[in-house]
Amino acid sequence: MTCPRCKIDLEQTLFYNTAVDYCPRCLGMFFDEEELRWAKDAKDKNLVWLDIDLWKDERKFRLNYGVRLCPSCRLPLYEVYYGASQIIVDVCNVCHGIWLDRGEFKKIVNYLKEESDQKLLNKYGNSMLEEFKEIFSGPETLREELADFLVLLKLLNYKFLAQHPKIAKAILQLPK
């Protein structure tokens, strides 16, 4: 797989049983559908923070043709905007994969920290972090953000996968 920005090969690292493809240069990340589904099976009782607005309301989605190519399918990704969040996520309408720029990752994490219950988020992140820290073999720069990453992975799964039929429909309605 190739980074949509740098055009170099993505590398793969394991978060527990979840393989994540990332670019060693720009640290962008690609999540394929299977990777997103993983979080669904995890038994987790602290999901109250998922009630935040991000990606919840289908009327707040805006779409655009993107210029980057899906690392997996090599077809153009669509840019998905959400409300006033200023977060842009690149979505593939073929494999349902999601590309996240480093900058978007940070924006989402900041959004979460502003909008959600900070105490709950920390508790959730820290308990998972202890479990995963030893297993993680990726670069140090990602390791530092492991808790944020795991929280984000959950959010992507619950919100983005649930909204995918609506995103696919919006893609069909884009002017040609």
Q: Which residues bind Zn ion (CB under 5 A)?
A: 3, 5-6, 23, 25-26, 70, 72-73, 92, 94-95, 97
> Which own/partner pairs from 9-15 qualify as long-range (CB within 8 Å, at least 24 positions apart)?
10/71, 13/136, 13/137, 13/138, 13/139, 13/142, 14/135, 14/136, 14/137, 14/138, 15/132, 15/135, 15/136, 15/138, 15/146, 15/149, 15/150, 15/153
Nearer to Zn ion, 16 or 65 (CB): 65
Give min distance, CB of 18 to Zn ion, in A. 18
The token pair that represents 36 in the structure block:
């997103």
Nearer to Zn ion, 25 or 123 (CB): 25
Give min distance, CB of 74 to Zn ion, in A. 8
Give min distance, CB of 8 to Zn ion, in A. 6
Give min distance, CB of 27 to Zn ion, in A. 7
Nearer to Zn ion, 76 or 83 (CB): 76
